Amino acid sequence: MIENLKFQHSFNYAYIDEYTKKEIRRKTLKAVCIPGYQVPYSSPEMPISRGWGTGGLHVTLSLVGPDDVLKIIDQGSDASVNACNLRNFVKEMSNCALTFDTAEATLIQTRHRVPEEILTEKQILVLQVPQPEVLRGVERHEAKTRIMHGEADYAKIWVTLYEAYVRTGGLRSGAGHPMMVNGRYVATPSPIPSWDVPNLSMARCLYLFGAGREKRIHCVPPFTRVEPLEFEDIRFKVEEFAGVRCSVSGQDKAFMDQIYADDLSSSYVVNDSNFLDKLRKGPRPPQRLFTNPE
């Protein structure tokens, strides 16, 4: 028969046991020391699905303390169901404070967006990463991509960029533009829009990238050079949103969501939910804007 004991399992603070947290922190420190390098880590199973933010959770839970103020966003929004779910979990397991205010948070976990508002040295941004291997599209074997990184052999990804230019007339479209970190490792910024990539460079905050399913952590430390891959004559560009204004705040110069109505007409809304709230209430929060080269 079952003893009741078996079902009365209590969890360690912040869910993950201390040995594993220590291991994750050690691997995170290694990632900080070697910007852009993917550090393998244990990545134990979590009670949420692989591919739904387990890597971000590992990093967040290994760092969170009762004094932390946590914000979790998904696709720029605090209200997304998965963000709610993860937020409840971390709160329940760590008893940290919660916020929607970007400026107030000490620890922000995000999926596929960097907040518009400038982050400070008191803040850590944890990005969820589905595929940490920036070279996976050009080399399917992990054993080979590790060697390519070791030898800084990035020829294939440059060729890919060139091919995209030949085929489409642009360097590349889509999220997750590859970046050169600190002049050494090419890494993925995670599938954030190009809009966000320049904000990773020489920032005051710490960017940690957790890929749970693939069991890798990489990092962009504060004040580290991040260069989106580009050619001398064909330059990296961010999304333009040319002539577009937010239908709620009337503002421009932010990453926009395009909302389609029943008659298929569309309007735009600022994507970052907290940034939008602030635009509606008062002065525009500080923001770093990238100007596309001519």
**DSSP 3-state percent helix, strand, coil across the chain (nearest 5):** 30, 20, 55
Q: Among 65, 66, 137, 150, which residue sits at the site for other proteins (rule: CB under 8 A)? A: 137
Q: Among 35, 176, 198, 228, which residue sits at the site for other proteins (rule: CB under 8 A)? A: 176
Give yes or no for a contact between 24 and 59, defined as CB atoms under 8 angstroms apart: yes
Is 45 a binding residue for other proteins by CB under 8 A? The answer is yes
**Which DSSP string corresponds to 88-101?**
HHHHHHH--EE-S-
Is 251 a binding residue for other proteins by CB under 8 A? The answer is no
Is 186 a binding residue for other proteins by CB under 8 A? The answer is no
Q: Among 60, 62, 94, 194, which residue sits at the site for other proteins (rule: CB under 8 A)? A: 194
Is 172 a binding residue for other proteins by CB under 8 A? The answer is yes
CB nearer other proteins, residue 73 or residue 220: 73
Coil, strand, or helix at residue 122?
Answer: coil
Which amino acid, 2?
A: I
For residues 113-130, one letter each, b for 16 or more C-beta atoms within 10 angstroms of the residue's C-beta and e for the rest, the string is: bbbbbbbeeebbbbbbbb
Query: What gap in Å lies between CA 239 and CA 222, rounded to an integer?
Result: 25
104-133: contacts with other proteins (CB under 8 A): 111-113, 130-131
- For residue 8, give the H/E element and its range: none
* Beta carbon of residue 213, minimum distance to other proteins (angstroms, whole number): 5
Stretch near other proteins under the rule CB under 8 A, chosen from 43-51, 94-102, 200-208, 227-235? 43-51
In the chain the first and final C-alpha atoms are separated, in Å, by: 74
Stretch near other proteins under the rule CB under 8 A, chosen from 49-57, 116-124, 227-235, 283-291? 49-57
CB nearer other proteins, residue 159 or residue 259: 259
Query: What gap in Å lies between CA 200 and CA 219, rounded to an integer?
Result: 10
CB nearer other proteins, residue 222 or residue 277: 277
209-228: contacts with other proteins (CB under 8 A): 213, 215-216
Stretch near other proteins under the rule CB under 8 A, chosen from 44-52, 199-207, 220-228, 279-287? 44-52
